[in-house]
Amino acid sequence: MPDQRLPLPPFGIELIARLQSASPPWPIVICFGRDSWQRARQWQGNPTVWALICPSNSALIQYRWPVLGLMLIVDWQPDQAAGHDDVMALVKVLLGYGAERVAVWPSDVDFSQPAFDYDSGRLVGQRWA
């Protein structure tokens, strides 16, 4: 059971109120890394979505995350304070608070570009680059 004395993350009080409404938000986004406050406000512009903020890696265990049974997307903008290990630590904390699923969306990846190229002119073991 989480320590009820811990504060909620930024926008957590609003999330709890919205979850109790007739049309709760879905999905819930956790903004982490560079420009997280700005990105959260952008997400909240969509009436079906709500966003929380994890201000920094040090804040992971300083908050009580209201995510029990929820599907989450971590909108992650990598920076010096939010690297690969940090986002994995955040995912572990969210799962520890009972999140149903946590997907990580790295904001700096251009999904319109292929991750790999296939070159049939190369030798069999070297075709994927």
Give per-residue pLDDT as tens, 75-112: 998 877 778 888 899 999 999 999 999 999 887 665 66
Domains present along the chain, CATH in parentheses: 12-126 (3.40.1010)
Does residue 117 surpass a pLDDT of 90? no
Residue 13: which pLDDT band, with cuts at 50, 70 and 90? very high
Q: Give 107 or 43, the one with higher predicted confidence.
A: 43
DSSP result, 43-112: HHTSTT-EEEEE--GGGGGGS----TT-EEEEEEE-BTTB-HHHHHHHHHHHHHTT-SEEEEEETT--TT
Write down the pTM of the prediction: 0.79
